[in-house]
Structure 1
Amino acid sequence: MNPVTVIEGTSPIILGHPHSGTWVPEEVLATLKPEAHGLADTDWHISELYEGLVPGATVVRANFNRYVIDANRPPDGASLYPGQNTTGLVPLVDFEGQPIWLVEPGEGEIARRLATFHGPYHAALRAQIERVRQLHGVAVLYDCHSIRSTLPFLFEGRLPDLNIGTNSGTSCDPEIGRAAVIACEAVDRFSVVLDGRFKGGWTTRHYGNPAGGVHAIQMEIVQDCYLASEQAPFAYSPEKAAPLRDVLAEVFEQIRLTIGDIA
């Protein structure tokens, strides 16, 4: 299987899907604990959730699972949230703090996965950012994520439904982050926070360069907003997703309008 799927579009908006993949090569699966084979920490059904919301959007999707290697972590493995529980470049534990490997990958194996999976994903992302920026003079990288609502190992209590990350306002023009918040707050159904527990992962922080015409923003969505259940089999619920998709469509419309104002 190709580690990355790219759908080229004509919009200034690029949708990054670093964590929705479910492919685990057989040689990697053989070293995972059986209880980790369910891949519970996947950003489930992101493609379905965002399908058709941005006409002409470019999509860059990692097909490999984050247990293989995390495409939203820096290649040197540095922590994105020093002092807080998190998972690493190749996670050793799951989102509940439980070990996931029968045999933990060593340095050589991690280097192989960097070259085979992480590197190609980011090469594709860089190429699309540059292509879109050349087309429009600006590119907006919108990184699509989801997570279970309650994970005590990672955060206290229940997350807000919609978690917008702009690396504290540095990864995109502040007006883009503000536009996303306003669109989310226009309905009472979903709670929203800007730069709360999730400020944006490595993708947002690494590529966001507003002065250079590249604006990066992350959206972390609580899975209870669109899944039938946050437990296996993590089925997609079109009925629950419908009002969320309406909000996300408005987020993209407001981002589109804001791009026109700041370009």
Structure 2
Amino acid sequence: MSDVYTLIKGSVPLLISMPHNGQLIPDDIAKSMTDKAKKVPDTDWYKDKLYDFAKALGAYILIPNYSRYVIDLNRDPEGVDLYPGANSTELCPTTAFDLSPLYLKGKLPDQHEIERRIEKYWQPYHQAIAVTLADIKQQHPCVVLLEAHSILSTVPRFFEGKLPDFNFGTASGKSCSAQLLAQITQLDFSPYTMVTNGRFKGGYITRAYGDPENNIHAVQLELSQSTYLDESNFEYLAPIADQVKLKLKDLVQVLIAFTQTEDK
């Protein structure tokens, strides 16, 4: 048990990580933040709800309790920029996706505070990833890590125009085998649009833990939020969400089947 994350243990060699699903902000941090920041608008909303079917399929599921505004679990702790040249958010973000400030004037986290958050929030989540993958690997020759993300379909800070619906990232082919990516792309995603290694190539977690040579395959899916919610108010829209969940279930089943094929 941990107050930083929730880990649901499974029975098949698939770990689904949702590093931006958390919404909590501790009081000691919230008091330095703007009212808008406390509403955590850049959350990967409802990922746990969208993948609620995965537990019955036997997947391991890892969900943080705290918001990405506290610390971004999908960033390099050394502050290395994953997308050089892009207007990215930091390890401890200081602005929202719309460039509005997250902190009150003079209240930005200093280096000591950033290091405190790394120790208290970042490290436990990553230890959970590493330990869970190692435990699964002891039982199975092959394991897949699915990084489950979502984002507004239009965010000018990060990309021009409207984002495709399904955005898969494999660190440009380095974080999983070509065979697995081929099986993913052969799925029927219609009527949704799909792209691989486009604007989103996979964040720190995908790049750090994907090790296909040792049969640890990591794939990130950045799902457009227009496929399951009202983007104006973040309301979950069950009728359309139920449709995209069918595609997500197809994806998860392919990932599980891949591990079983590799086991043989």
TM-score of the superposed pair, with normalisation by structure 1: 0.95
Instruction: Note the C-alpha offset of 1:247.
Output: 0.7
The 3-state SS of whatever aligns with 2:181 is: helix
Give the alignment partner of residue 93 of structure 1, picking from 92, 95, 113: 95
* Structure-1 separation of matches of 2:93 and 2:181: 29
Aligned partner of 2:52 in structure 1 is 51
Instruction: Note the C-alpha offset of 1:231.
Output: 2.5
Contact 2:152 2:225 in 1 (8 A): yes
Aligned partner of 1:205 in structure 2 is 207
Contact 2:25 2:38 in 1 (8 A): no
Aligned partner of 2:163 in structure 1 is 159
Instruction: Note the C-alpha offset of 1:189.
Output: 1.1
Aligned partner of 1:11 in structure 2 is 12
Q: Kindly indicate whether residue 108 of structure 2 is the aligned counterpart of residue 104 of structure 1.
A: yes
Contact 2:174 2:210 in 1 (8 A): yes
Q: Aligned AA for 1:230?
A: E
Deviations 1:179-225 (A, max 9, x none): 12221xx1421000000000000000000001112110000000010
Contact 1:170 1:208 in 2 (8 A): yes
Q: What are the ranges of 5 or more consecutive residues in structure 2 without an aligned counterpart?
A: none
Instruction: Note the C-alpha offset of 1:238.
Output: 1.6
Q: Alignment RMSD, CA only?
A: 1.2
TM-score of the superposed pair, with normalisation by structure 2: 0.95
Aligned partner of 1:37 in structure 2 is 38
Distance 1:187 1:119, change over 3 A: closer
Instruction: Note the C-alpha offset of 1:236.
Output: 1.5
Instruction: Note the C-alpha offset of 1:246.
Output: 0.8
Instruction: Note the C-alpha offset of 1:147.
Output: 0.2
Instruction: Note the C-alpha offset of 1:260.
Output: 3.6
Sequence identity, in percent? 36
Contact 1:176 1:259 in 2 (8 A): no
Deviations 1:55-91 (A, max 9, x none): 1110111111000000000110111000011111001
The 3-state SS of whatever aligns with 1:61 is: strand
Contact 2:12 2:256 in 1 (8 A): no
Aligned residue runs from structure 1 range 168-183, under 5 A: 168-183=172-187
Q: Aligned AA for 1:24?
A: I
The 3-state SS of whatever aligns with 1:115 is: helix
* Structure-2 separation of matches of 1:224 and 1:259: 31
Q: What are the ranges of 5 or more consecutive residues in structure 1 without an aligned counterpart?
A: none
Count of residues paired in the alignment: 259
Q: Which runs of 4+ in 1 moved over 6 A?
A: none
Contact 1:204 1:218 in 2 (8 A): yes
Aligned partner of 1:242 in structure 2 is 242
* Structure-2 separation of matches of 1:59 and 1:262: 21
Contact 2:225 2:231 in 1 (8 A): yes
